[in-house]
Chain A
Amino acid sequence: MIVNQFLVLAAALFALGVYGLLVRRNIVLILLSVELMLNAVNINLVAFEAMLNTPEALGQVFAIFVITVAAAEVGIGLAIVLMIFRNRRSANVDELNLMRW
Chain B
Amino acid sequence: MTNLLILAAEEGEHLVQAGDGGWWADTAGIMLILPFVAFGLIMAFGKRLKHQGGEIAVAALGINLVWATILFVANLTGGVLDQTTFEIARIGSGLVFELGWVVDGLSIMMYFLVNFVGLLVFIYALGYMKGDVRVPWFFAAFSLFAGAMLILVGAPNLVQMIIGWEGVGLASYFLIGFYWDDLDNVKAGNKAFMTNKVADVGLILGAIIIGVTLGTFDFDALDLAAIEHSEALAGVALVGGFLLFFGAMGKSAQFPFHIWLPDAMAGPTPVSALMHAATMVTAGIYLMARTFPLFQNLATEARGWMVAIGAITLLAIGLLALVANDIKKVLAYSTVSQLGYMMTAVAAGGYTAGLFHLFTHAFFKGLLFLGAGSVIHAVHSNDLTDMGGLRKYMPTTYWTFVVGSLALAGIFPLAGFWSKDEILATLQFEGYVAFMWIAIAGAFVTAFYMTRAVALTFFGEYKGHAEPHESPRIMTGPLVGLAIPSILFGLLNIPGVSWPGIGNFTEWLGIRVVAMGDHHAEAIDFALAGMGFGAALLGIALGWMIWGKDRNTQQARDRFEVPALYPLLRHKYYVDDAALGLVWATSNPLARFVDWTNTYIIDGIVNAVGGGTKFLGGLVYNGLDQIGVDGVFNGLSAAADSAGSALRKIQTGRVQEYAAGFVAGALILVVLFVFVI
Residue numbers of A with Cβ under 8 A of B are 18, 21-23, 30, 93-94, 96-101
Contacts and interface: CB of A to CB of B under 8 A. Distances in A.
Contacts of B659: 21-22
B93 interface: no
A97 B657 CA distance: 11
A23 B663 CA distance: 13
Contact of B654 (A18, A21, A23, A97): A97
A99 B656 contact: no
B592 interface: no
B491 to A, nearest CB: 133
Contact of B653 (A21, A22, A100): A100
Given A22-B659, A23-B656, A100-B651, 20 more contacts: A21-B656, A21-B659, A21-B663, A22-B663, A30-B656, A93-B654, A93-B655, A93-B656, A94-B654, A96-B653, A96-B654, A99-B651, A99-B653, A100-B652, A100-B654, A101-B648, A101-B649, A101-B650, A101-B652, A101-B653
A93 B649 CA distance: 18
28 contacts: A18-B663, A21-B659, A22-B656, A22-B659, A22-B660, A22-B663, A23-B656, A30-B656, A93-B654, A93-B655, A93-B656, A94-B654, A96-B653, A96-B654, A96-B655, A97-B652, A98-B653, A99-B653, A100-B651, A100-B652, A100-B653, A100-B654, A101-B648, A101-B649, A101-B650, A101-B651, A101-B652, A101-B653
Majority DSSP secondary structure for residues of B touching A: helix
7 nearest CB pairs, A to B: A100-B653, A97-B653, A101-B648, A101-B651, A99-B653, A22-B660, A100-B651
A23 B659 CA distance: 11
A30 B656 CA distance: 9
Nearest to B659: A21
A93 B650 CA distance: 17
B429 to A, nearest CB: 129
A96 B658 CA distance: 13
A94 B652 CA distance: 10
Interface string B635-677: 0000000000000111111111001100100000000000000
A100 B656 CA distance: 13
A54 to B, nearest CB: 23
Nearest to A97: B653
A47 B656 CA distance: 30
A50 B559 CA distance: 166
Nearest to A24: B656
Contacts of A93: 654-656
Contacts of A23: 656
A39 to B, nearest CB: 17
Nearest to B645: A101
A15 to B, nearest CB: 10
Contacts of A101: 648-653
Contacts of A100: 651-654
Contacts of B650: 101
Interface string B271-299: 00000000000000000000000000000
B597 to A, nearest CB: 72
A101 B2 CA distance: 108
B647 to A, nearest CB: 9
Nearest to B663: A18
Contacts of A18: 663
Contacts of B663: 18, 21-22
A100 to B, nearest CB: 3
A99 B654 CA distance: 8
A99 B651 CA distance: 8
A99 B653 CA distance: 5
A18 B659 CA distance: 9
A66 B477 CA distance: 149
Nearest to A27: B655
A90 to B, nearest CB: 14
A21 B663 CA distance: 10
Contacts of A94: 654
B660 to A, nearest CB: 5
A96 B655 CA distance: 8
Nearest to A34: B659
A18 B660 CA distance: 8
Nearest to A25: B656
Interface in B604-656: 648-656
B669 to A, nearest CB: 15
A73 to B, nearest CB: 15
Contacts of B648: 101
B44 to A, nearest CB: 97
A37 B398 CA distance: 151
A40 to B, nearest CB: 14
A56 B655 CA distance: 39
B566 to A, nearest CB: 112
A43 B659 CA distance: 23
Interface string B227-257: 0000000000000000000000000000000
A18 to B, nearest CB: 6
Contacts of B653: 96-101
A73 B650 CA distance: 27
Contacts of A97: 652-654
Nearest to A18: B663
